[in-house]
Homo-oligomer: A and B are copies of this chain.
């Protein structure tokens, strides 16, 4: 597209905060001189429009344009494997751009059968590889995934067990778990809907139902304060003395449904099982 004086400016869509987003995946590969020229015109054009933030979502194929953008005053906002998000702030005032994501999420799954046995695994990798330690199934919450859904999915993937999410028993926030980023680990209670284990070959060395007291008596559980706490919570839960947070679907400003986790709700469990 061109501005009023006929100069080429980069096509962009408005965001909700008075800014614009340039999606460079809509462009063929170009040389950096051509890009720089369009970029200069674009900033002038957006300034006249009274815009504030200018975002450029730059696919990794356009890596030859990163230097030109930074020399023009853009900086990095965030990156994913296949793109870099650059941003520029037009007003003279301090920017009010949103912060980048700071946390990764993980889950641990606590399932118990009718004879008080917990579902446990031995992992092929990680710090307990080859140690004989039995641990609860754990895993990462994927981008865009609900916490409860991640717990059900990981249990199914690692052990083949179908389950229904009951509640989040506790969670831990840990800093600098990965460079400067933090971690939230959610201990989740699930009800098993099947009992025959089909372990995953890639990550899991072994999986079984193990008497809960035997699981808890392992030295590695006793060694770490955190694991002792988590064990106490699990024990209180199966003894009927503990209430965690359950998810209920709700809506707010956006049309999208999102989950609210709250204590001991009597609201119907309307979430769909995976």
The chain A residues found within 8 Å of chain B, CB to CB, are: 60, 63-64, 66-67, 70-71, 75-85, 96, 98-105, 125, 127, 140-144, 146-147, 169-176, 178-182, 184, 224-227, 229-230, 233, 242-245, 248, 250-254, 256, 258-264
Chain A interface secondary structure, helix, strand, loop or mixed?
A: mixed
Question: Copy number in this complex?
Answer: 2
Q: Chain B residue with minimal CB distance to A94? A: B202
For A171, what are the chain B residues with a Cβ–Cβ distance below 8 Å? 245, 260-261
Q: What are 14 A-B pairs with beta-carbon distances under 8 A?
A: A60-B75, A67-B67, A79-B79, A100-B101, A101-B102, A101-B178, A101-B182, A102-B103, A102-B104, A103-B184, A144-B176, A173-B259, A184-B184, A226-B252
- Chain A to chain B: the 6 pairs with minimum beta-carbon distance, closest first: A226-B252, A79-B79, A170-B262, A76-B79, A101-B101, A174-B258
Check A99/B103 contact, CB under 8 A, given A143-B180, A225-B250. Answer: no
The reply to whether B81 and A263 form a contact with Cβ atoms under 8 Å apart is no
The reply to whether B75 and A82 form a contact with Cβ atoms under 8 Å apart is yes
Which of B96, B144, B169, B248 is within 8 Å of A175, CB to CB?
B144
For A233, what are the chain B residues with a Cβ–Cβ distance below 8 Å? 262
The reply to whether A172 and B102 form a contact with Cβ atoms under 8 Å apart is no
For A262, what are the chain B residues with a Cβ–Cβ distance below 8 Å? 169-170, 229, 233
Check A180/B144 contact, CB under 8 A, given A63-B70, A103-B103, A242-B263. Answer: yes
For A99, what are the chain B residues with a Cβ–Cβ distance below 8 Å? 104, 140, 142-143
Check A250/B64 contact, CB under 8 A, given A84-B76, A140-B99. Answer: no
The reply to whether B182 and A144 form a contact with Cβ atoms under 8 Å apart is yes
CA distance A253 to B225 in the complex (A): 9
Additional A-B contacts beyond A76-B81, A96-B125, A173-B261 (8; CB < 8 A)? A85-B179, A98-B104, A99-B140, A101-B182, A172-B258, A173-B258, A226-B250, A245-B263
For A147, what are the chain B residues with a Cβ–Cβ distance below 8 Å? 173
For A75, what are the chain B residues with a Cβ–Cβ distance below 8 Å? 60, 81-82
Of residues A141, A181, A227, which shows the largest number of chain B Cβ atoms within 10 Å of its Cβ? A181
